[in-house]
Amino acid sequence: LQTRLQAGQGYGNTLSCVLTVYRNESVAGFFKGMSFPLASIAVYSSVVFGVFSNTQRLLSHFRHGDPAQAPALADVALASIVAGFISVGIGTPVELVKIRLQMQTQPYIEANIKLKPTVPGFPVYRGPIHCFRTVLQKEGIAGIYRGMGAMLLRDVPGYCLYFIPYTFFCSWINPDGCVSPSPSSIWLAGGVAGAISWVTATPMDVVKSRLQADGVHLNKYKGTLDCILQSYRNEGLKVFFRGVTVNAVRGFPTSSAMFLGYELSLKAMKRDQNETNP
């Protein structure tokens, strides 16, 4: 729904998008492009959280001489920025393949380009591997990383507004300074942080989606700035908030589950380490 609302045409609102997708593509339409993100989400999440955690530990080691020392707010912010940069290298190709698969049968507005290699309404790609290979052959590495600039502008501040609110809400829910917050505290803090992060990241998420969807049939945008200017000129400021409701609703449960899994995994590994090395 998010991709259709942000990069598609003819969807008035979220409910309209839901009904249109179901009417035209049945239930299967809601799961288009799911396989590639599903196959890579474990690697992606482990890298992002691993980079964030290890950067924090490294900063605590340099500042206090103790990697286990609670990080300062500046350390959390810097670790978030590093995690955001690293995430883009892994996430951009995955996002591009997902969006191309979701948008390949969608209508588009004609641009000033003579060639129309495919006809809207007919699939361009047979699946995620075929999509990746086709984009790589026709557009090269630059095509695989199309939208990387917009994704950097989305993820670097987005992860700051992901990890910092999470740290703040965990401390606020546990004012006694408990090192290990309860699962319910983690779930709530992670959900709120995820909703905040995705709502604030929506404008650049719209730009990223449009850039990555561009190229299925035509190349309309020359780059991030051109996409911003064209979108604003044609549809006004409101275009940058398309899909904000979907992002907020999605952000809470996914981030709750992500942080809960992360914290419980850390607890389990620490417990095993203590049992192995008493």
Position 6 in a domain: no
First-to-final CA distance of the chain? 51
Residues 156, 263 share a domain: yes
Position 16 in a domain: no
Residues 115, 180 share a domain: no
Name every residue whose Cβ is closer than 8 Å to that of residue 203 and which is 6 or more positions away in sequence: 240, 241
Angle at 44 between CA 204 and CA 31, to 5 degrees: 70
Task: Render pLDDT for 132-186 as a digit per residue (tens, 0 to 9).
Answer: 999 999 889 999 999 999 999 999 999 999 999 998 888 887 766 555 678 888 9
C-alpha–C-alpha distance, residues 230 and 233, integer Å: 5
Residues 103, 124 share a domain: yes
Which domain covers residue 205, as residue numbers?
A: 146-277
Instruction: Specify whether the backbone of 213 is left (phi greater than 0), alpha (psi in -120 to 50) or beta.
Output: alpha
Residues 49, 120 share a domain: yes
What single-letter DSSP state applies at residue 256?
Answer: H
Residues 66, 161 share a domain: no
Which of 104, 123, 144 is the C-terminal boundary of a domain?
A: 144
In this prediction, residue 262 has a pLDDT band, given cuts at 50, 70 and 90, of confident
How many beta carbons lie within 10 A of that of residue 236, not counting itself?
Answer: 9
Task: Render pLDDT for 49-106 as a digit per residue (tens, 0 to 9).
Answer: 999 999 998 998 888 777 777 788 899 999 999 999 999 999 999 999 888 888 776 6
Can you tell me which residue has the tokens 């299967």? 28
pTM: 0.80
Name every residue whose Cβ is closer than 8 Å to that of residue 130 and which is 6 or more positions away in sequence: none
Residues 153, 136 share a domain: no
Residues 252, 159 share a domain: yes
